Amino acid sequence: MIGDNIEVKILKVDNGVVKIGIVAPSAVKIYRNEVYKTIAEQNIGAVIQDTSEVASLKEVFNNVNKNR
């Protein structure tokens, strides 16, 4: 068990190969490690495509604070 609602089951063991199953609520996303890493990298790239965007936002927020 992982937490209260995720169960890892051994489905089959054959010649040193183990097949597992995961029982979890549909809201829990389960990915292989390489897929998870790819998704994480894409998410980071989508948030910050250009560092100049971050600098522009920082300037906007600094100006907002000065005008208060």
Gap between the Cα atoms of 47 and 54, Å rounded? 10
β-sheet bridge partners, residue 6: 2
Longest dimension (CA), the chain: 71
Half-sphere exposure for 47 (CA within 13 Å, toward CB): 6
φ, ψ for residue 49 (rounded to 5)?
-90, -25
Residues facing 8 on adjacent strands: 22
pLDDT tens for the chain, 68 residues long, are 999 999 999 999 999 999 999 999 999 999 999 999 999 888 887 776 666 677 777 788 887 766 55
